[in-house]
């Protein structure tokens, strides 16, 4: 069902555009030009974040830390997820291969990955659009949210897997 | 952000020079730089497409009316005098595409939305509360059915791949609420 949503949405936009006698092609081009500008502007931010999350991954620095007796495999995920979707996906795959999907660690990882976003990445891209330097307050609140997600995910997974 | 960036960078370089080999630093940067270019190509292609589609949409009368109606569902989160009509349209489109899980469409509208909010912002160097709320909504996962995670679980042989749906909704709601509550608590010191 949800597979149809996107094609239908595109269809409705195009048909209404034609019905209201708009120049659909020109509007699309206009929008696309805006899109190119957007992509150009966010590129350095995407680049910077990819570099530091790559370093975090390749030096394997995170798997050497074990904080509060937490499993060494979950901490990298909790730290990586706010930075990069790609790098955290590769951590998830490692966890699934080594521990399975339905174990305690597998559950925490699945829930955490699906219930949080790439917080720092999103903030830096949105702030780049309005050339805002002072992002402290949203970074703090966003990371508080991510930390809460980690704690709740651990509790719920404990309850489910017993 | 600057603190986070320099902290991670410095720690990683020191760590690999001391405990691993110094070659890893350059190797890793080379690889990620290549990856970053690939990433931006993927992001850019969909961004350009959706920008085109949404430009048609915001120029058709009926659809922009519908999206303004949709906004009333979320209006309790924002301050009235900080949100223009154009911004309402982008905000509702952004939240709707986030909920349906169309990430690229959500990105386009998050950027357009924050730009519109900035236009009616009094102090351009500071976020107003509606802008901060809008950013926080985007940093939390609103997607109702985590389709990509479920298919990844299927791929790695899960017995019950969709068991995560309800926990994910609970965790998302709690973490978003905590983020928004902490924004309200800290806001006084920011202003």
Please write the tens of the pLDDT for every residue from B36-75: 888 888 888 888 888 888 888 888 887 777 777 888 888 8
Decide if pLDDT at A57 tops 70. Answer: yes
Q: How confident is the model at residue B177 (pLDDT cuts 50, 70, 90)?
A: very high
B47/A41 Cα distance (integer angstroms): 12
CB B170 within 8 A of CB A152: yes
- Would you state the pLDDT for residue A140? 92
A3/B48 Cα distance (integer angstroms): 21
Strand, helix or coil for residue B173: helix
Please write the tens of the pLDDT for every residue from B95-147: 888 887 777 788 888 999 999 999 988 888 888 889 999 999 999 888 888 88
Q: Do A61 and B108 touch (CB under 8 A)?
A: no
% residues pLDDT > 70 (chain A): 92
**A117 contacts chain B (CB < 8 A):** yes
Q: What share of chain A is helix, strand, coil (3-state, %, to 5)?
A: 80, 0, 20
| pTM (2 d.p.) | 0.85
Q: How confident is the model at residue A142 (pLDDT cuts 50, 70, 90)?
A: very high
Minimum mean pLDDT range among A112-116, B30-34, B179-183, B186-190: B186-190
User: Which residues, 6 or more positions from B44, have their beta carbon under 8 angstroms from its beta carbon?
Assistant: A35, A36, A39, A43
- Mutation for A interface: B60, B103, B155, most A CBs within 10 A: B60
Q: How confident is the model at residue A72 (pLDDT cuts 50, 70, 90)?
A: low
Please give the angle made by the CA atoms of A91, A97 and A101, to the nearest 5 degrees: 90
Beta bridge partners, B140, equal: A116
């Amino acid at each position: 069902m949800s597979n149809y949503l996107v094609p239908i949405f595109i269809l409705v936009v195009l048909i209404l555009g034609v019905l209201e006698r708009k120049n659909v092609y020109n509007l699309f081009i206009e929008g696309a030009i805006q899109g190119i500008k957007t992509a150009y502007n966010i590129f350095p931010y995407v680049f910077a974040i990819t570099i530091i999350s790559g370093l975090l991954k390749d030096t394997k620095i995170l798997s050497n830390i074990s904080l509060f007796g937490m499993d060494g495999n979950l901490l990298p995920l909790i730290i990586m997820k706010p930075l990069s979707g790609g790098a955290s996906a590769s951590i998830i795959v490692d966890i699934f291969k080594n521990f399975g999907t339905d174990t305690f660690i597998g559950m925490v990882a699945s829930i955490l990955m699906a219930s949080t976003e790439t917080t720092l990445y999103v903030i830096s891209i949105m702030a780049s659009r309005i050339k805002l330097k002072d992002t402290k307050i949203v970074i703090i609140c966003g990371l508080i949210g991510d930390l809460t997600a980690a704690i709740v995910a651990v509790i719920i997974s404990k309850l489910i897997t017993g | 952000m600057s603190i986070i960036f320099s902290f991670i960078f410095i720690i990683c370089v020191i760590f690999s020079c001391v405990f691993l080999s110094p070659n890893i630093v350059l190797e890793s940067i080379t690889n990620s730089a290549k990856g970053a270019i690939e990433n931006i190509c993927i992001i850019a292609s969909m961004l350009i497409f959706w920008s085109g589609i949404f430009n048609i949409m915001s120029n058709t009368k009926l659809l922009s009316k519908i999206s303004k109606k949709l906004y009333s569902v979320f209006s309790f989160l924002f301050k009235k005098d900080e949100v223009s009509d154009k911004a309402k349209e982008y905000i509702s489109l952004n939240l709707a595409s986030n909920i349906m899980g169309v990430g690229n469409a959500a990105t386009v509208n998050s950027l357009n939305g924050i730009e519109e909010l900035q236009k009616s912002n009094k102090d351009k160097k500071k976020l107003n509360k509606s802008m901060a709320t809008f950013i926080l909504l985007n940093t939390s996962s609103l997607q109702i059915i985590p389709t990509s995670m479920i298919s990844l679980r299927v791929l790695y042989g899960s017995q019950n791949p969709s068991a995560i749906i309800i926990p994910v909704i609970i965790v998302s709601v709690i973490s978003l609420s905590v983020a928004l509550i902490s924004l309200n608590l800290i806001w006084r010191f920011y202003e």
